[in-house]
Amino acid sequence: MNVNNITTINTTYRMFSAFTDKIESDAKFTFSVSDNLTSKSFETSAGSKILEGYRPPFDSTTIRRMKDVGGFLMGKTNMDEFGFGTFSVNSAFGIPRNPFDIERSCGGPSGGSACAAAVFDHVSLGTSIMCPASFCGVYGLSPSYGRVSRYGLIDCGNSFDRIGILSFKASALREYLPIIVGKDVHDPTSMIQPDLKLGGKKMCAVAVPKQIIDNKKVSKGVIESFNRSIESLKSIGIDVEYVDIPTLEYSVSVYSIIATSEASTDLARYCGMRCGPQDGDYTLKFDDYFTSFRSQYFGDEAKKRILLGTLIRMAGYVDKYYNKALRVRESIIADYKRQFERFDAIITPTMPFISPKFDDVSKMSTLDSYKSEFLTATPIVTGMPHLSVTCGYSEGMPIGLMFTSDHWNENVLVDMAERWDCSFDVKHAEVNA
378 and 311 share a domain?
no
Query: What pTM was computed for the model?
Result: 0.93
Q: Provide the pLDDT confidence category of residue 215 given band limits of 50, 70 and 90.
A: confident
What single letter denotes the amino acid at residue 62? Answer: T
Q: What is the CATH number of the domain that holds 13?
A: 3.90.1300.10
Q: pLDDT band at residue 214, thresholds of 50, 70 and 90?
A: confident
Angstrom distance (rounded) from CA 169 to CA 342? 30
Greatest Cα pair distance, the chain, in angstroms, is: 71
Domains in the chain, number: 2
Residues 10 and 111 in one domain: yes
pLDDT at 271 over 90: no
Q: How far is CA 7 from CA 98, 355, 432, in A?
A: 13, 21, 9
Q: What is the pLDDT of residue 217?
A: 87
Q: Does residue 15 carry a pLDDT above 50?
A: no
Span 218-234, pLDDT tens digits: 999 999 999 999 999 99
- Mean pLDDT on 13-37: 70
**Residues 219 and 108 occupy one common structural domain:** yes
- Average pLDDT value for residue range 48-68: 95
Last residue of a domain, one of 297, 328, 359: 328
| Whether residues 173 and 32 fall in one domain | yes
- Is position 88 within any domain? yes
The answer to whether 233 and 207 have CB atoms below 8 angstroms apart is no
Report if residue 428 sits inside a domain. Answer: no
- 314-329 pLDDT, tens per residue? 988 999 999 999 999 9
Same-domain pairing of 261 and 277 = yes
Query: What's the mean per-residue pLDDT of the chain?
Result: 91
Q: Quick one: 225 and 273 in the same domain?
A: no
Cα separation, 230 vs 313, in Å, equals 42
Instruction: Dump pLDDT digits (tens) for 59-112.
Output: 999 999 999 999 999 999 999 999 999 999 999 999 999 999 999 999 999 999
What are the C-alpha distances in Å from 315 to residues 154, 319, 322, 349?
A: 27, 8, 11, 38
Domain boundary pick from 261, 294, 328: 328
Say which amino acid occupies 410: E
336 lies in some domain = no
Strands 205-209 and 239-243: parallel
Average pLDDT on 333-343 reads 97
pLDDT bin (cut points 50, 70, 90) of residue 387 is: very high
| Same domain assignment for residues 188 and 285 | no
Q: Give the Cβ contact number of residue 216 at 10 Å.
A: 6
**One domain for residues 323 and 391:** no
Residue 6: is its pLDDT beyond 90? no
Examine residue 23 and state whether it is found in any structural domain, yes or no: yes
Least confident segment among 37-46, 63-72, 186-195, 283-292 = 283-292
Pairwise CA distance, residues 344 & 219, whole Å: 26
What SS3 state is found at 150?
coil
Listed residues 301, 328, 355: the one ending a domain: 328
Residue 9 has pLDDT above 60, yes or no: no
**Domain around 307:** 251-328
